[in-house]
Structure 1
Amino acid sequence: MQVLVRDNNVDQALRALKKKLQREGVFREMKARRAYEKPSEERARKKQEAVRRAKKVARKNAQREGLLPGPKKKAPRAPRAAA
């Protein structure tokens, strides 16, 4: 993984690195490896995650078909006043 530092702006490069690591799931993996997970707990967790994914897919399909209302639209923000 590589992050470019532009104009000696290390803070911005760190933010970009953290975002990339988050997207790749590195933090989630580190948290999971902190403690031993029994095989039965791992199976239960994976089954629960699969159920959650299946419900999400079903909800998205229902929204596309018009059976459920779509996600709420965010209201546009008011422009900031110049100080």
Structure 2
Amino acid sequence: MIEVRKKDKETTESLMRRFSRKIQQSGVLVRARRTRFRNDEKSKTEKRTEALYKVKIRKEIDKLKKLGKFDDEALRNIKRKME
């Protein structure tokens, strides 16, 4: 953890500048930005479950398209029904 204390007769601007420099030199900001949007790998089970869900949705959509009943509302209903 970075800690910066105000010195005697030091302005707030110079304190902030010193703090910013310490943050950059320590690499804390770089690490935080790197891990900010990091997604963990999905497990095999999660991948399979997701794939099965997509297959079910695709089958339902194809069935409705053949019947001529597919639209945006139907898609929402399918997804709601599959959950």
TM-score normalised to structure 2 length: 0.39
Greater relative CO, 1 or 2 (CA 8 Å, sep 6+): 2
- TM-score by length of structure 1 reads 0.39
Instruction: From the CA coordinates, give the structure whose radius of gyration is larger.
Output: 2
**Between Structure 1 and Structure 2, which shows a larger proportion of helix residues?**
2
